[in-house]
Structure 1
Amino acid sequence: MQSIRNIAIIAHVDHGKTTLVDKIIHASKIFDAHQHFDDLILDNNDLERERGITIVSKNVSVRYKDVKINIIDTPGHADFGGEVERVLKMADGVLLLVDAFEGAMPQTRFVLSKAIQLGLKPIVVVNKVDKENCRPDEVHEQVFDLMFNLDATEDQLDFVTLYGSSKQGWMSRDWREKTDNIIPLFEAIIEVIPPAPTREGTPQMQITSLDYSSFVGRIAIGRVHRGTLQEGTNMSLCKRDGSIKKVKIKELNVFEGLGRVKVESVSSGEICAITGIEGFDIGDTLADFENPEPLERISIDEPTMNMLFTINNSPFFGKEGKFVTSRHLRDRLFKETEKNLALRVEETDKEDTFLVYGRGILHLSVLIETMRREGYELQVGQPQVLFKDIDGQRHEPIEHLVVDVPEETAGKVIELVTQRKGELTIMEPKGDLQHLEFNIPARGLIGLRNNVLTATAGEAIMNHRFQSYEPYKGTIPGRINGSLIAMETGPGTAYSIDKLQDRGVFFVEPGEEVYMGQVIGEHSRGNDLTVNIQKGKQLTNMRASGSDNNVRIVPKLQFSLEEAMEYIQKDEYLEVTPKSIRMRKIYLDENDRKRYERKDD
């Protein structure tokens, strides 16, 4: 029997987790001498590399001496909480990675609290001690306080701390003593993390994640809880609704290095991938054929937000995307719910419109961005926060918001957040920054990031996580400015845009094709204004010299997908295609808009 350690890595976005995994992989000599690999081995989809975040958890294994270490990479964002909880079920210990300057961040707290509840043993790695103005000792104290506040047991509080730099590839038990490798980390894992328990008896395995291959279909991944799984045996699949389905294991694989190796049997404690099982969901238990015993299902945090997804019906539909029909949209959304646990999709009374529930703007925007890259065209409505009725009173989700900001602009940030019903709970210096913590309704966060970044000249660092449902806090002022709306379809002219610059800021530039009803800018006042940007200059044969070449146009305002999702109003849609993101009114014709406004009044 080989000794196995299953360990999950927890870290905040950008604290160096994926880089550390790269170094562990290199140190264990998985690659042959002639193989060359880029950095960020595990963040292998484009979106993860671009945003520098881990979205989907992944498995990799390394060997040190005669021990096999299975490393499970976890997402650091609270929006992917569904991903985190099921992944921790496979681990016996966690590696908590914190930045030697920033310390434990709000997202770290979220994942760490889940790990501590599950009773996992932590090892703390204080990373980036090579950076100037780092404070490793303070950060160590901070992590201890955090674990204490999360009700860690005495055994969990007695954690081993390692210091080092993943980038430079060294770890040590004292940050003043630099070594030249990360062997101390391997030693600590073997010494501290308990070996994966071996339980005798009938086989049991909970499916905690899935993979897909175009050759063999869906692949179930999980840790064998009890007994031994054999290739080619018949098993029972225990479903959510209590029903039991008979299935057969076609093939078993275990994780070796970055790949998988086919084996005949897998004993308890090992993580494996199974092919040949049909119709399973995450959380189902694979159990004995004769007398199946299901394991307790994974509970997932409830969604806090929903958005309307509908097909693209703008005048420009079908010009850029491959998948444009309601059937395409429907199939893609329901396929996503199979592996994205915290996502829910509901059909509405219109067959081309769906309500999609998620954990936050980032959770939903990653789905929209992924679909857009796959060639889908769709439209989404304004994100709506989900309210709950508790004892007859309306409750809403409250988020814990943390902002680190230069001292001189801290006042502006506090003012912006309190306008949106945020309450300041902590204000303290952190290095040369002010560290602010608030409790704010999730509704208040929509569109807040743009305003805070504008007020602080882009220097604020914002993070938030879901805290709890609390009684409704009253109305929150939305966007103060109205929209500039295109009157006609066609390319805009520099002449018209120049003449209208005093009316607001434009989101389009001369020569760009727009359609009637598209939102092409932000009005300087509170009401919507319909403008004509297609008008050219009336040319006569008498030209005044020098009057034509002084057209100076302010560059257009560019929005990222998340910013645009937060920006749109209730009567607007965001049109998303593989090449463009456009905002538009739901009713493109001005007369229709006026008619529906009267109805609403």
Structure 2
Amino acid sequence: MDIRNIAIIAHVDHGKTTLVDRILHTTKVFRENQDSGELIMDNNDLERERGITIFSKNAAVNYKGIKINVIDTPGHSDFGGEVERVLKMADGVILLVDAFEGPMPQTRFVLQKALQLNLKPIVVINKVDKPNCRPDEVHDAVFELFFNLDATEEQLDFPTYYGSGKNGWFNDSLTEIEGIEPLLDGILKHVPEPVVNEGPVQMQITSLDYSSFLGRIAVGKVTRGSIKEAQQIALVQADGSIKKSKVKELYVFEGMGKRRTEEVVAGDLCAVVGLEDFNIGDTICDIDVPEALPVIAVDEPTMSMLFSINTSPFFGKEGKFVTSRHLRDRLFKETEKNLALKVEDSDSADSFLVYGRGILHLGVLIETMRREGYELTVGQPQVLVKTIDGKKHEPYENLVVDVPADFSGKVIDLVTQRKGEMLIMESKGEMQHLEFEIPSRGLIGLRSQMLTNTAGEAVMAHRFIDYKPWKGVIPGRNNGVLISKNQATTTAYSIDKLQDRGSFFVDPGEDVYIGQIIAEHIKPGDLVVNATEGKKLTNMRASGSDDSVRIVPKILMTLEECMEYIQDDECIEVTPKHIRLRKTLLNEEDRRKQSKSMKA
């Protein structure tokens, strides 16, 4: 069979999508004069804005008469659910490692999954054109990582390629050449052909696609037999139930798109149109011999958030979808394709508990929903707590920070305040490499504090390890907030008078409501203020005082920064045009009563 199925895995920002660009250009997927742009596979608006891959994607190229199915995967641990399922479609993996940073926490996570599935690894050490790069040391570190992950002798004997995706060359030595042909030859040589079992058709659905014309499309790898257009098939679901269905249309991947075909044989990836009510993990099989493949197991979520309808006075001004029914339908629809996400109904009919892998995982969902026209309120992220042997346990993470040596003391101080324990401290060129074990709770809000204290120089990454005993109280935000006293439009006159009390999140001329958080207080404790008072006009001229208003621009926070900033009595109002911070109870009297009852 002239097919190779390969997934590209790596830590975030090590160059996966750039490598896919090079493969697409080298195999002439585009015409000579066609402007394809960069990071071709990141075609989602959110991915382009953030510069990260969120969804795994497929492309197919032809090299020396052999079809190579390439799967680009996300590098961030919050999207690990995407990686776990698409690895089922591959027979080999390209492990991409930065020549300076070496193996990072996410490299370990995805490599472990690949080795468990017995995939053939090819190691590519990228960015060897960087200053301070250390390809030989990184190669040794990768070998050590393989060894620590109990790789077989065959897996330990991995081929290694060096190069620079940006400059468009890869070679099996450090000699710079033109082009990436040695790497493509290596894929043909080292990645095995798909293993094909004899027998009737079997295919596990590992991914979902959607088309406004065709509806939901099932994507997966045919592991046995062949699948044909108009064929009657059985769909075996996770609970063991069997549904009869029919294949309406069949597509294989070609270049960046799909091509319609009449038959797909075992070993190839395909997209099936016409199935109803299917989920990821279901098996398509012969109608007479319905044998299911093992269900895809995905790691459990580690964090939860309460999603509610928008209850602010500005409710319904901007969004198209504002009711609890809209919110519920959208969240449950998301769980069909987002395996690492779970949704549960809460005690209130207007609120839903959403479980995810981390702040970024949930943040991307909220951002997608607001762009689709939803209005909602989200509460403070909470880590999931388990009771093991009668004791309270919480998730712990391995935190890796690379920072200039001058700032390492500040980083250690920040992490230890949040109950982190240092495991490793070593020098990498001019940078200090620090590794900690820290409760997941301690990571919430840590990134922004760390970037402030290290002048933006710290590079941080983390991955989930395991549940361990509860570490006690972790200090939250030190400062209180300034809360709006009334509903009106802010004025420069009022904000100017209040600027010495705190840093503002709103500019003059913005509409605010009672209970909205408009600034961070310079001290602990909250303060209710009036930022909407206008200057009383008289016919007397005050010499020189009118032109002295100097307003500091407002602090702009991203959605993830807001999620990390809020405390348990606060929430975020998310609408298509605005992200506002507010108190859960807008009325000051209600907040007083609640704090008294909690003290009692």
Output the TM-score relative to the length of structure 2: 0.98
Give distance in 1, aligned partners of 2:475 and 2:401.
21
1:82-125 per-residue CA deviation (whole Å, 9 max, x = no partner) reads 11111101111100111111111111111111111111111111
Cα deviation for residue 349 of structure 1 reads 2.5
Indicate the residue corresponding to 2:524 in structure 1. 526
Q: Secondary structure at the match of 1:468?
A: strand
Q: Does the Cα contact within 8 Å between 1:517 and 1:584 map onto a contact in 2? A: yes
Match of 2:183 among 163, 182, 185: 185
Give distance in 1, aligned partners of 2:505 and 2:411.
26
Q: Does the Cα contact within 8 Å between 2:236 and 2:282 map onto a contact in 1? A: yes
Indicate the residue corresponding to 1:78 in structure 2. 77
Q: Secondary structure at the match of 2:118?
A: coil
Deviates more, 1:312-321 or 1:461-470: 312-321
The question of 1:365 aligning with 2:363 is answered yes
Match of 1:355 among 332, 353, 356: 353
Q: Map residues 562-573 of structure 1 onto 2, 5 A cutoff.
A: 562-573=560-571
Q: Map residues 38-77 of structure 1 onto 2, 5 A cutoff.
A: 38-77=37-76
Q: Map residues 260-271 of structure 1 onto 2, 5 A cutoff.
A: 260-271=258-269
The question of 1:3 aligning with 2:2 is answered yes
Cα deviation for residue 225 of structure 1 reads 1.1
Cα deviation for residue 469 of structure 1 reads 0.4
- Paired letter, 1:466: F
Cα deviation for residue 38 of structure 1 reads 1.3
Indicate the residue corresponding to 2:326 in structure 1. 328
Give distance in 1, aligned partners of 2:298 and 2:483.
42
Indicate the residue corresponding to 2:123 in structure 1. 124
Q: Map residues 373-384 of structure 1 onto 2, 5 A cutoff.
A: 373-384=371-382
Indicate the residue corresponding to 1:209 in structure 2. 207
Q: Does the Cα contact within 8 Å between 2:13 and 2:75 map onto a contact in 1? A: no
Give distance in 2, aligned partners of 1:246 and 1:328.
31
1:289-317 per-residue CA deviation (whole Å, 9 max, x = no partner) reads 11211111110100100000011121112
Give distance in 1, aligned partners of 2:248 and 2:483.
59
Q: Does the Cα contact within 8 Å between 2:380 and 2:570 map onto a contact in 1? A: yes
Q: Map residues 148-547 of structure 1 onto 2, 5 A cutoff.
A: 148-175=147-174, 177-547=175-545
Q: Does the Cα contact within 8 Å between 2:421 and 2:438 map onto a contact in 1? A: yes
Q: Does the Cα contact within 8 Å between 1:13 and 1:52 map onto a contact in 2? A: no
- Paired letter, 1:128: K
Indicate the residue corresponding to 2:546 in structure 1. 548
Q: Secondary structure at the match of 1:500?
A: helix
Q: Secondary structure at the match of 1:142?
A: helix
Q: Secondary structure at the match of 1:549?
A: helix
Indicate the residue corresponding to 1:141 in structure 2. 140
Give distance in 1, aligned partners of 2:332 and 2:210.
15
Give distance in 2, aligned partners of 1:137 and 1:490.
63
Give distance in 1, aligned partners of 2:305 and 2:279.
24
* RMSD of aligned residue pairs (Cα, Å): 1.1
Give distance in 1, aligned partners of 2:178 and 2:485.
66
Q: Secondary structure at the match of 2:548?
A: coil
Give distance in 2, aligned partners of 1:33 and 1:500.
60
Deviates more, 1:493-502 or 1:184-193: 493-502
- Paired letter, 1:344: K
Give distance in 2, aligned partners of 1:554 and 1:216.
52
Indicate the residue corresponding to 2:114 in structure 1. 115
Output the TM-score relative to the length of structure 1: 0.98
Q: Does the Cα contact within 8 Å between 1:519 and 1:585 map onto a contact in 2? A: yes
Give distance in 1, aligned partners of 2:422 and 2:543.
60
Give distance in 2, aligned partners of 1:514 and 1:348.
29
Cα deviation for residue 34 of structure 1 reads 4.3
- Paired letter, 1:378: L
- Paired letter, 1:354: F
Give distance in 1, aligned partners of 2:73 and 2:472.
36
- Paired letter, 1:98: V
Match of 2:594 among 583, 587, 596: 596
1:549-596 per-residue CA deviation (whole Å, 9 max, x = no partner) reads 222222221111100001011111101111111000111111111122
Q: Secondary structure at the match of 2:89?
A: coil
Q: Does the Cα contact within 8 Å between 2:481 and 2:519 map onto a contact in 1? A: yes
Give distance in 1, aligned partners of 2:379 and 2:520.
18
Q: Does the Cα contact within 8 Å between 1:18 and 1:42 map onto a contact in 2? A: yes
Q: Secondary structure at the match of 1:296?
A: coil
For structure 1, the 5+ residue unaligned runs are none
1:184-235 per-residue CA deviation (whole Å, 9 max, x = no partner) reads 0111001111111122101111100011111111110000111111221111
Indicate the residue corresponding to 1:13 in structure 2. 12
1:64-92 per-residue CA deviation (whole Å, 9 max, x = no partner) reads 11211110111111111111111101111
Moved over 3 A (4+): none
Cα deviation for residue 132 of structure 1 reads 2.1
For structure 2, the 5+ residue unaligned runs are none
- Paired letter, 1:5: R
Give distance in 2, aligned partners of 1:88 and 1:72.
9
- Paired letter, 2:141: Q
- Paired letter, 1:33: E
Q: Secondary structure at the match of 1:155?
A: helix
Q: Map residues 91-110 of structure 1 onto 2, 5 A cutoff.
A: 91-110=90-109
Indicate the residue corresponding to 2:27 in structure 1. 28
Deviates more, 1:131-140 or 1:456-465: 131-140
Give distance in 1, aligned partners of 2:142 and 2:432.
20
Percent of pairs with identical residues? 67
1:376-435 per-residue CA deviation (whole Å, 9 max, x = no partner) reads 111100001100011111110001111111111111111111111100001111121111
1:326-349 per-residue CA deviation (whole Å, 9 max, x = no partner) reads 222111111111100000111123
- Paired letter, 1:505: S
Q: Does the Cα contact within 8 Å between 1:3 and 1:196 map onto a contact in 2? A: no
Cα deviation for residue 16 of structure 1 reads 1.4
Q: Secondary structure at the match of 2:243?
A: strand
Cα deviation for residue 263 of structure 1 reads 1.4
Give distance in 2, aligned partners of 1:182 and 1:416.
44
Q: Secondary structure at the match of 2:546?
A: coil
Cα deviation for residue 48 of structure 1 reads 0.7
Give distance in 2, aligned partners of 1:203 and 1:437.
48
Q: Does the Cα contact within 8 Å between 2:378 and 2:571 map onto a contact in 1? A: yes
Give distance in 2, aligned partners of 1:539 and 1:232.
79
Q: Secondary structure at the match of 2:590?
A: helix
How many residue pairs get aligned? The number is 599
Give distance in 2, aligned partners of 1:131 and 1:382.
40
Give distance in 1, aligned partners of 2:390 and 2:167.
57
1:153-172 per-residue CA deviation (whole Å, 9 max, x = no partner) reads 11111111111111111111
- Paired letter, 1:120: L
